[in-house]
C-alpha cells in the first residue's frame, strides 16, 4: 500500500469516527421541533457511516471528484476547460457559492482570497468591458475610471497589472503618432481575454456583430483570429475586417469571478500563487459544507405545517433541514475530517498538510456552518435547503452508491 | 445631447437613402465634419463632450448601415435610424423635463412619482419603525435582493476614522452582513432565554455576545464594546447583563406582529417567545432604521442609495422610451454619459420632498464621480426586474398625464 493510499484510508477512518461521535451526540440531545426529524437524521448518519467507506470511499470520491470539482474547481491544467466548466455550473443560486468561494469565510483571523478592494475593481472592469463594442479594455479607459487617465497614480497601474495577471488577459499595443491632446506619440494598451476564453464567452456572453461587406472577416477563437480594436483611429486603418463584440445581458461580475476561480483551480499546485493556507482551508471548508448539506435527508412535514403556507417556501424546490444538523456538537466532529478529505482529493498531500486543525480553526469551523447563507433560506426558524443542481447531483450519487451496494449485498 | 440628436434626425430625414449604398459612406463623414465646424460652444469640456457624442452617433449610424444594407432596403434602414433617433430624443426630453426647476406642481413630475415609487419598495417612509418594516416585508418577496443591495455598498469613501460617530448609520460591510446572518442562525438554532425586562412573566431569546463576535474580534475592549453595541442597535438588538444579545422591546412587538416570534407557555407559567427568523428579519430592520433616520446616514450610504435611485430612474426611463434594439442604447449607457447624468439625478432625488437625504453628502469631485462605475458594474438581476417595473410605471404616469 502506497503512502497516499494509507493516508486516504486514515482519512476515511477519521470521518467514520466523526460520524460515530455525531450519532452519540445526536442521541443525547433533541433540539427538533419537527416530529421525526431527529430520527431521519440519525438514520442518514447511520447509512453514511456504514456505506461511505465501502469501495475505497467511492461515495466521497465521486461526490468530490466528479461533482464538486467539476462544477467549481475543475481538475485540469487548461484554463479554458476549467473556465468553461465553472461557467456551465452557473445558476442564480450557484452564483452565490462562486461568490462565497471568492470571499472565503471572512474572519479577523485570516484575509479573504480577494482583498476587500478587489471586489469593486471587478465591478469596474465589468463596466469597462460593457461599454466598448470590441470586448477590450484600454489602459487609458481603466485609469479614467480611477482618476486622471493621462496621469494615473502608480497604485492604479499596479492594480491593473495585478488584474491582468490574475485573469490572464492578453494585451496588444496601439501606437498613435500624434495624440490629439498633447501632439506627442502615445501608446495605448488594449487588453482582452485569450482566444480560448473568448470562444467560450461567445456561446452566451458576447454577441458578435460582423461587418457584412468584407471577405476577410476574422472570427474570434478561430485560426487565431481576434476581435479588432475598436478605437476610431484603428478603424480607419483596419476597417476592412471589423468585428464588433457586444456583451450580452448575462455578462456580469460572476464571469470574472469564475475566471478567477478557474485560475486558482489550474494553479492548485502552486500554493503561493493561489494564496496559501487560507485559500486551501477556505475552499475545502465550503466544499465540505456542500457535501454535508447534500447528504442531509429530506424531511416530510404534515400537510398543515405553517412552513408549507409561507410564501417564500417552494415545496417543489426546497426541503427542510433538521435543526440537529446545525448543532455545533454534531458538526464539530464531522467538519474536521471532511475538510481534510476534501483537501486531500483537491490537492493531495500538499493541501492536506495545510489544513489547520488547531483550536482557533475549530472556532472558525463553527462559523462555516453559517456559510452559503444566500443559497439556503431560513423560513419560520427552519433552515430550508434549496435544491440547487450541486446538492441534487451529490444526493443522486448517494442514492446510487447506497442502492448499488445494497444490491451487491443481496446477490 | 438632445440638440445633436435632433440635428442628426433632421439631416437623416433630408438625406437620400440611395447614398447609403456608397461603400465608404463618405457623405456621413462630410456631414459630421460640417456639423463640427458649426460648434460654437465656448466651454471646453462641453464642446469636447459634444464632439465625442456627435462622433459616436455618426459612427453608430455608419456601422448600422454597413451591417444591414445588404439585408434590408436602404429606405427601411433610413426609417429605422429615424425611429431610433426619435426614441432617443423622446427619452432625453423626459429626462430634461424630469422635474420643475421652480418646484411648481412637483407632485406631478416624473422625478417625484418615480422616486416615490422606488422608495415605497426599497426605502419606504412611515411614521414609525413598525410601519416601515411592514412595508419592506410586504415587498421583500419580490425585491428582497434589491432591498439588501441598497445596504451593501460597493463604493469606498474616505471617512474620518478617528472618533467615529456611532449615531451615524454606515452601510453593511461583508463582515457585518456575515455577523447578521450568524445572529439569525444562532437565534433559530440554539437560543438561550432570559426574563423580558419590560414584561414580567415573559421570556425573550438571547445569545451570548461572545458566541457571535468572538470569531471576528480577538478581544473585546471598550472600543469593541461600543461597536458591538451600535451594530446590535441597528438590527433591533440590545446588550443585557453585559453578556447577552436580546431583542429591544420595540423590536419584540415588530417580531410578534410579523410572526418572527411565537409564544410558548412553559411549565412554570411563563410565556416564552420562540424565535423563528427568516433571512430578511434583521436586515430589513437595519434598512427600516436607515430609512427612519435618513438624515443621519454615512456619506457612503447616502451616495450609494441615491446612486441606486438615480440609476433606476434613468434606466427605467430608457427602458420605457427606447426599444431594446435601439442602436443608440450604447451611448446612453456610456460611462461618460453616466458620469454626467447620474450625479445630477442623485442630487435631485435627495431634495427634501423626494428622498429627503442630506444632499450635501453627495460627493461630486472627479474622483468620487468615478465611484459610480463600481455601482453600475455591481448590478444584480433583481435590479433589472425593478427597472422593468419602473418602465411600466412610467407608461402609467404618461397615460395619467394625457
DSSP string across B244-274: EEEE-HHHHHHHHHTTSEEEEE-TTS-EEEE
Question: Looking at the structure, do residues B152 and B297 belong to the same domain, yes or no?
Answer: yes
CB within 8 Å: B276 and A382: yes
The answer to whether position B213 is within a domain reads yes
CB within 8 Å: A378 and B279: yes
Residue B103's contacts (CB-CB under 8 Å, 6 or more residues apart) are B353
Distance from CA of B104 to the nearest CA of A (A): 37
The answer to whether position B288 is within a domain reads no
What pLDDT is stored for residue A240 in this prediction? 39
Taking residue B131's Cβ as centre, other Cβ atoms within 10 Å add up to 14
Domain residue limits at B20: 1-96
**CB-based contact B239:B210 (threshold 8 Å):** no
Distance CA B226, CA A373 (A): 27
What pLDDT is stored for residue B38 in this prediction? 64
Distance CA B201, CA A230 (A): 73
| End residue of a domain, out of B96, B118, B146 | B96
**Is the CB of A383 inside 8 Å of chain B's CB atoms?**
yes
Distance CA B263, CA B245 (A): 19
What pLDDT is stored for residue A56 in this prediction? 87
| Strand extents, DSSP E, B188-311 | 192-195, 202-208, 237-240, 244-247, 261-265, 271-275
The answer to whether position B360 is within a domain reads yes
What pLDDT is stored for residue A301 in this prediction? 83
Q: Which residues of chain A make contact with B71, given a CB cutoff of 8 A?
A: 212
Distance from CA of B73 to the nearest CA of A (A): 14
CB burial readout A259-273, b (16+ within 10 A) else e: bbbbbbbbbbeebee
| End residue of a domain, out of B226, B244, B278 | B278
pLDDT digits (tens, 9 = 90+) for A346-371: 999 999 998 877 776 666 666 777 77
**Is the CB of A252 inside 8 Å of chain B's CB atoms?**
yes
ipTM of the complex: 0.76
Residue A141 pLDDT greater than 60, yes or no: yes
Question: Looking at the structure, do residues B268 and B322 belong to the same domain, yes or no?
Answer: no
The stretches of A248-327 forming alpha helices (DSSP H) are: 253-266, 271-274, 276-295, 306-309
**CB-based contact A12:A53 (threshold 8 Å):** yes
What pLDDT is stored for residue A218 in this prediction? 42
Distance CA A252, CA B378 (A): 8
Residue A219 pLDDT greater than 50, yes or no: no
Q: Which residue of B has its CA nearest to A96?
A: B380
Question: Looking at the structure, do residues B175 and B272 belong to the same domain, yes or no?
Answer: yes
CB within 8 Å: A380 and B276: yes
Distance from CA of B402 to the nearest CA of A (A): 34
- Kindly report the average pLDDT of chain B as a whole number: 84
Q: How many domains does chain B have?
A: 3
Residue with grid cell 439625478, as numbered in its chain: B345
**Residues in A 275-334 with any Cβ partner in B closer than 8 A:** 311-312, 323, 326-328
- Give percent of chain A with pLDDT exceeding 70: 81
Distance CA A356, CA A373 (A): 24
CB within 8 Å: A366 and B215: yes
Residue B374 pLDDT greater than 70, yes or no: no
What pLDDT is stored for residue B125 in this prediction? 94
pLDDT digits (tens, 9 = 90+) for A308-319: 888 888 888 888
**Residues in B 194-233 with any Cβ partner in A closer than 8 A:** 214-218
What pLDDT is stored for residue A233 in this prediction? 34
**Is the CB of A153 inside 8 Å of chain B's CB atoms?**
no
Residue spans of the domains in chain A: they are 3-73+270-410, 118-254
Question: Looking at the structure, do residues B108 and B86 belong to the same domain, yes or no?
Answer: no
User: Which of A65-79, A246-260, A395-409, B25-39 ranks highest by mean pLDDT?
Assistant: A65-79
Q: Average pLDDT, stretch A105-122?
A: 47
Which of B61, B139, B215 best probes binding to A when mutated, by most A CB atoms within 10 angstroms? Answer: B215
Residues B295, B301, B307, B313: is their CA dihedral positive or negative? negative
| End residue of a domain, out of B96, B113, B139 | B96
The answer to whether position B283 is within a domain reads no
In this complex, how many residue pairs, one in chain A and one in chain B, have their CB atoms less than 8 Å apart? 136
What pLDDT is stored for residue A12 in this prediction? 92
User: Which of A232-241, A296-305, B160-169, B195-204 ranks highest by mean pLDDT?
Assistant: B195-204
Question: Looking at the structure, do residues B41 and B131 belong to the same domain, yes or no?
Answer: no
**Is the CB of A212 inside 8 Å of chain B's CB atoms?**
yes
Q: Average pLDDT, stretch A170-194?
A: 82
Question: Looking at the structure, do residues B267 and B303 belong to the same domain, yes or no?
Answer: no
Distance CA B322, CA A211 (A): 24
Question: Looking at the structure, do residues B188 and B206 belong to the same domain, yes or no?
Answer: yes
The answer to whether position B176 is within a domain reads yes
Residue A152 pLDDT greater than 70, yes or no: yes
Question: Looking at the structure, do residues B325 and B393 belong to the same domain, yes or no?
Answer: yes
CB within 8 Å: B377 and A123: yes
**Is the CB of A214 inside 8 Å of chain B's CB atoms?**
no
Question: Looking at the structure, do residues B329 and B268 belong to the same domain, yes or no?
Answer: no
Q: Which residue of B has its CA nearest to A368?
A: B182
Amino acid at each position: 500500500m502506497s503512502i497516499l493510499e494509507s493516508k486516504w484510508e486514515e482519512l476515511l477512518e477519521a470521518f467514520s469516527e466523526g460520524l460515530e461521535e455525531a450519532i452519540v451526540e445526536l442521541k443525547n440531545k433533541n433540539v427538533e421541533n419537527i416530529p421525526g426529524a431527529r430520527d431521519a437524521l440519525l438514520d442518514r448518519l447511520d447509512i453514511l457511516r456504514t456505506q461511505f467507506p465501502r469501495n475505497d470511499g467511492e461515495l466521497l470520491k465521486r461526490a468530490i471528484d466528479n461533482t464538486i470539482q467539476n462544477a467549481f474547481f475543475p481538475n485540469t491544467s487548461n484554463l479554458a476547460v476549467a473556465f468553461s466548466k465553472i461557467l456551465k455550473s452557473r445558476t442564480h443560486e450557484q452564483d452565490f457559492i462562486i461568490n462565497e468561494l471568492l470571499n472565503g469565510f471572512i474572519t479577523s483571523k485570516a484575509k479573504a482570497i480577494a482583498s476587500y478592494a478587489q471586489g469593486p475593481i471587478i465591478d469596474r472592469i465589468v463596466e469597462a468591458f460593457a461599454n466598448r463594442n470590441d470586448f477590450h479594455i484600454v489602459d487609458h479607459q481603466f485609469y479614467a475610471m480611477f482618476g486622471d487617465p493621462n496621469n494615473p497614480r502608480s497604485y492604479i497601474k499596479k492594480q491593473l497589472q495585478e488584474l491582468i495577471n490574475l485573469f490572464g488577459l492578453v494585451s496588444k499595443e496601439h501606437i498613435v503618432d500624434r495624440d490629439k491632446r498633447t501632439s506627442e506619440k502615445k501608446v495605448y494598451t488594449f487588453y482582452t481575454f485569450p482566444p480560448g476564453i473568448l470562444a467560450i464567452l461567445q456561446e452566451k456572453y458576447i454577441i458578435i456583430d460582423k461587418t457584412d461587406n468584407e471577405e476577410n472577416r476574422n472570427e474570434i477563437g478561430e485560426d487565431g483570429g481576434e476581435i479588432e480594436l475598436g478605437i476610431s483611429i484603428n478603424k480607419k486603418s483596419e476597417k476592412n475586417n471589423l468585428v464588433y463584440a457586444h456583451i450580452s445581458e448575462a455578462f456580469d461580475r460572476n464571469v470574472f469571478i469564475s475566471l478567477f476561480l478557474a485560475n486558482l483551480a489550474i494553479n492548485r499546485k502552486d500554493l503561493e500563487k493561489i494564496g496559501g493556507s487560507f485559500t486551501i482551508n477556505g475552499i475545502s471548508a465550503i466544499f465540505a459544507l456542500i457535501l454535508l448539506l447534500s447528504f442531509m435527508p429530506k424531511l416530510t412535514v404534515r400537510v398543515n405545517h405553517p412552513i408549507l403556507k409561507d410564501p417564500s417556501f417552494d415545496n417543489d424546490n426546497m426541503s427542510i433541514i433538521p435543526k440537529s444538523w446545525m448543532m455545533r456538537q454534531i458538526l464539530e466532529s464531522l467538519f474536521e475530517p471532511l475538510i481534510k478529505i476534501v483537501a486531500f482529493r483537491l490537492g493531495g498531500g500538499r493541501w492536506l498538510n495545510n489544513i489547520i486543525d488547531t483550536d482557533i480553526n475549530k472556532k472558525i469551523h463553527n462559523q462555516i456552518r453559517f456559510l452559503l447563507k444566500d443559497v439556503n433560506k431560513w423560513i419560520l426558524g427552519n433552515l430550508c435547503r434549496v435544491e440547487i443542481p450541486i446538492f441534487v447531483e451529490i444526493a443522486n450519487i448517494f442514492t446510487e452508491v447506497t442502492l448499488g451496494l445494497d444490491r451487491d449485498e443481496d446477490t | 445631447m438632445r440638440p445633436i440628436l435632433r440635428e442628426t434626425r433632421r439631416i437623416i430625414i433630408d438625406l437620400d437613402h440611395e447614398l447609403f449604398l456608397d461603400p465608404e459612406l463618405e457623405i456621413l463623414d462630410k456631414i459630421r465634419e460640417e456639423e463640427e465646424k458649426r460648434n460654437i460652444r465656448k466651454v471646453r469640456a462641453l464642446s469636447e463632450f459634444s464632439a465625442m457624442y456627435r462622433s459616436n452617433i455618426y459612427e453608430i449610424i455608419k456601422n448600422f448601415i454597413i451591417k444591414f444594407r445588404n439585408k434590408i432596403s436602404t429606405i427601411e434602414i433610413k426609417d429605422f435610424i429615424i425611429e431610433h433617433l426619435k426614441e432617443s430624443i423622446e427619452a432625453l426630453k423626459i429626462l430634461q423635463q424630469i422635474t420643475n426647476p421652480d418646484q411648481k406642481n412637483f407632485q406631478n413630475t416624473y422625478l417625484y412619482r418615480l422616486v416615490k415609487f422606488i422608495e415605497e419598495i426599497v426605502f419606504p417612509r412611515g411614521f414609525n419603525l413598525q410601519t416601515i418594516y411592514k412595508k419592506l416585508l410586504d415587498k421583500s418577496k419580490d425585491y428582497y435582493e434589491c432591498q439588501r443591495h441598497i445596504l451593501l455598498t460597493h463604493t469606498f469613501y474616505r471617512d474620518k476614522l478617528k472618533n467615529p460617530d456611532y449615531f451615524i448609520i454606515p452601510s453593511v460591510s461583508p463582515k457585518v452582513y456575515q455577523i447578521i446572518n450568524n445572529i439569525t442562525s444562532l437565534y433559530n438554532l440554539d437560543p438561550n432565554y432570559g426574563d423580558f425586562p419590560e414584561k414580567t412573566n415573559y421570556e425573550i431569546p438571547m445569545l451570548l455576545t461572545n458566541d457571535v463576535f468572538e470569531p471576528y474580534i480577538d478581544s473585546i475592549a471598550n472600543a469593541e464594546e461600543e461597536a458591538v453595541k451600535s451594530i446590535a442597535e441597528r438590527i433591533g438588538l440590545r446588550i443585557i447583563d453585559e453578556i447577552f444579545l436580546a431583542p429591544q422591546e420595540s423590536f419584540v412587538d415588530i417580531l410578534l406582529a410579523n410572526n418572527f416570534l411565537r409564544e410558548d407557555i412553559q411549565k412554570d407559567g411563563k410565556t416564552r417567545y420562540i424565535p423563528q427568523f427568516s433571512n430578511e428579519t434583521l436586515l430589513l430592520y437595519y434598512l427600516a432604521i436607515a430609512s427612519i433616520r435618513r438624515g443621519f446616514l454615512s456619506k457612503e450610504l447616502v451616495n450609494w442609495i441615491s446612486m441606486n435611485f438615480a440609476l433606476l430612474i434613468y434606466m427605467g426611463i430608457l427602458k420605457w422610451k427606447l426599444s431594446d434594439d435601439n442602436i443608440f442604447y450604447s451611448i446612453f449607457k456610456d460611462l461618460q454619459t453616466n458620469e454626467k447624468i447620474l450625479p445630477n439625478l442623485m442630487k435631485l432625488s435627495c431634495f427634501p420632498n423626494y428622498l429627503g437625504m442630506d444632499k450635501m453628502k453627495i460627493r461630486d469631485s472627479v474622483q468620487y464621480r468615478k465611484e459610480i462605475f463600481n455601482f453600475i458594474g455591481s448590478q444584480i438581476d433583481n435590479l433589472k426586474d425593478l427597472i422593468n417595473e419602473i418602465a411600466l410605471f412610467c407608461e402609467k404616469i404618461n397615460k395619467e398625464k394625457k
